Amino acid sequence: MKFGVVRFPGSNCDQDAYYVLRDVFGKQVNYIWHQERDVKGYDCIVLPGGFSYGDYLRTGAIARFSPVMEAVIAHAQKGKFLIGICNGFQVLCESHLLPGALVRNTGLKFVCRHVYVRVENASTPWTISAKRGEVLRIPIAHGEGRYVAEPETLQKLNETGRILFRYCDDKGRISEEGNPNGSMENIAGIANESFNVLGMMPHPERASEKILQSDEGKVIFDSIIKTILLQ
Amino acid sequence: MPQVKVYVTLKPTLLDAQGRVVQKALNSLGYSNVEQVRIGKYLELDLSGDGDVSEQIKEMCDKLLANPIIENYRYEVIK
C-alpha cells in the first residue's frame, strides 16, 4: 500500500500528512513534486493544506493547472483514492473533481481552532471505521472555507449521501453556532459520485495523536487504509 | 496590439462578506445612502498581434480567470 503527498509551491501541511501516514500508521509514503507527470503506483494521493501558488487569483486556481494535476485527475478517474484537505479541497473544486466552490469565510477572519464535525455517512471508503452521527473534534485553519454550490448541486449531494461531514456543536447538533465559516448546510466535507475522491476543510492530519489534543481525525486514515486492504 | 480589460464579479446570489464590511464602513463615515457594495476583480491583459481576440478571451475567462460557479465576468477589448 503506497500513499503519495503532493507538494505545490506553498503547500505547508505536506509534512504533517507525510508524518501521520508514515509514523502514526506505518505506511509507505512518498512526496510528489508538483512538476511530476507520473503518479502511477499510488493507492491514495493526498493534496495537502497550505497556500499553493500564494492563493493568487483564487484559492487552488493556479495549482489546478500545475503539471502534476493532469496525472492526479487521471488517477481519480481510474477510481483510485484521492483526498484533498483544506487547500487540497479548494484545488479539487477548481479541478471540477468535486462540485461547488470555497469562498471567503462569512466572518472574514482566518479561523484556526478545533471544531466539531458530524459523520453523515459511514458507508464510504473514508468513513467505514466511523459511526454515522459520530462527532469528531478536528481543527480547521482557513480563511476561505465557506462551501457554496447551486441548489441543484446541494440537492444531489444530499440525495446521494455525498455530504460526509457537517460542522456541528459538541453534541452533534447542526447549528449556526457550530458553523465556523458560513458554509451552506454546514458542509465540511464532500465526496464525488463514486466516493473515491474526498474533499474536506478540517485537518485530520493535525488530529491523529493524543498529544495534539485530539486523535479523532485518525478515523479517516483508518477507514481508507481498511478500504484499500479490503480491495 | 489589443488591450483587454476583464471584470470579474461575485454572482449576485452569493454573499459578499468583504463588500458588506466596506458598505458598513461607508455608512459609518456618514454615507448613509450606500445600500450595497460588491467587490470584484479587475484585470488588464496586453496581447500581441491583431485580429479578433474575443473568443480567446472568453476561453481564458472560462478556463482560469473566473470560476463560473461563483463568478460572472465581462470584458472590453481596446484596440
Which residues of chain A lie closer than 8 angstroms to B73, CB-CB?
none
Q: What is chain A's mean pLDDT, rounded?
A: 97
Of A72, A74, A48, A81, the C-alpha closest to A203 is A48
Residue type, A98: L
pLDDT of residue A161: 98
Specify the long-range contacts of residues A172-180, CB closer than 8 Å, at least 24 apart: A172/A116, A172/A118, A172/A133, A172/A135, A174/A118, A178/A115, A178/A116, A180/A105, A180/A111, A180/A113, A180/A115, A180/A140, A180/A145
- Top residue of B70, B71, B73 to mutate, by most chain A CBs within 10 Å, is B70
Q: What is the pLDDT of residue B50?
A: 83
Whether B15 sits inside 8 A of A149 (CB atoms) is no
Q: What pTM did the predictor assign? A: 0.95
Q: For residue B52, name the pLDDT band (cuts at 50, 70, 90).
A: confident
**Hey, is the C-beta of A101 within 8 angstroms of any chain B C-beta?**
yes
Whether residue A101 and residue B69 make contact (CB cut-off 8 A), yes or no, is yes
Of all residues in chain B, the one with the smallest CA distance to A57 is B65
Domain ranges of chain B: 3-78
| Residue A49: pLDDT band with limits 50, 70, 90 | very high
Hey, which residues does B77 pair with through a beta bridge?
B4
Q: Is the pLDDT of residue A51 over 80?
A: yes
B61 neighbourhood in chain A, CB within 8 Å: none
Whose cell is 459609518? That residue is B28
B46: cell is 496586453
Q: Is the domain covering B3-78 a CATH 3.30.1280.10 domain?
A: yes
d(Cα B33, Cα A174) in Å, to the nearest integer? 37
Q: ipTM beyond 0.90?
A: no
Q: Domain ranges in chain A?
A: 2-230
Please compute the mean of the pLDDT values over residues B60-68 and round it to a whole number: 96
Percent of chain A with pLDDT over 70: 100
What mean pLDDT comes out for the span B39-58? 93
Q: Percent of chain B having pLDDT more than 90? A: 90
Answer yes or no: do B21 and A106 touch at CB < 8 A: no
DSSP string, A120-186: S--SSTTTTTS-TT-EEEEEEEESS-EEE--HHHHHHHHHTT-EEEEEE-TTS---STT-SS--GGG
Q: Is B51 exposed, middle or buried (0-12, 13-18, 19+ CB in 10 A)?
A: exposed
Model pLDDT for residues A97-138, shown as the tens digit of each residue: 999 999 999 999 999 999 999 999 999 999 999 999 999 999
Average pLDDT over residues A221-226: 98
Contact A103 B21 (CB under 8 A): no
Residue with cell 479541478: A95
pLDDT at B1: 80
Instruction: Tell me the pLDDT tens digit for each residue of A130-187.
Output: 999 999 999 999 999 999 999 999 999 999 999 999 999 999 999 999 999 999 999 9
- The angle at the Cα of A174, spanning A47 to A114, to the nearest 5 degrees, equals 50
Backbone angles phi, psi at A44, to 5 degrees: -145, 135
Tell whether the model's pLDDT for residue A77 goes beyond 80: yes
Identify the pLDDT of residue A90: 98
Is 80 exceeded by the pLDDT of residue B78? yes
Mean pLDDT for all residues in chain B: 95
Q: How confident is the model at residue A214 (pLDDT cuts 50, 70, 90)?
A: very high
One-letter amino acid for residue A7 of the chain:
R
Nearest CB to B67 within list A101, A108, A150? A101
As given in the structure block, the three cell numbers for residue A53 are 501558488
Q: How many CA atoms lie within 13 A of A182 on its CB side?
A: 19
- The CATH fold of domain A2-230: Rossmann fold (3.40.50)
Chain A residue with Cα closest to B19: A108
Contacts of A145 (CB under 8 A, 6+ apart): A86, A102, A105, A111, A180, A181, A183, A201
- Interchain CB contact of A107 with B (< 8 Å): yes
Positions of A annotated as catalytic residues are 86, 203, 205
CB neighbours of residue A143 within 10 Å: 17
Q: What is the percent of chain A where pLDDT is above 90?
A: 99
Interchain CB distance below 8 Å, A149 and B69: yes
Q: Does A65 have pLDDT greater than 80?
A: yes
Q: Residue B51 has what pLDDT?
A: 84
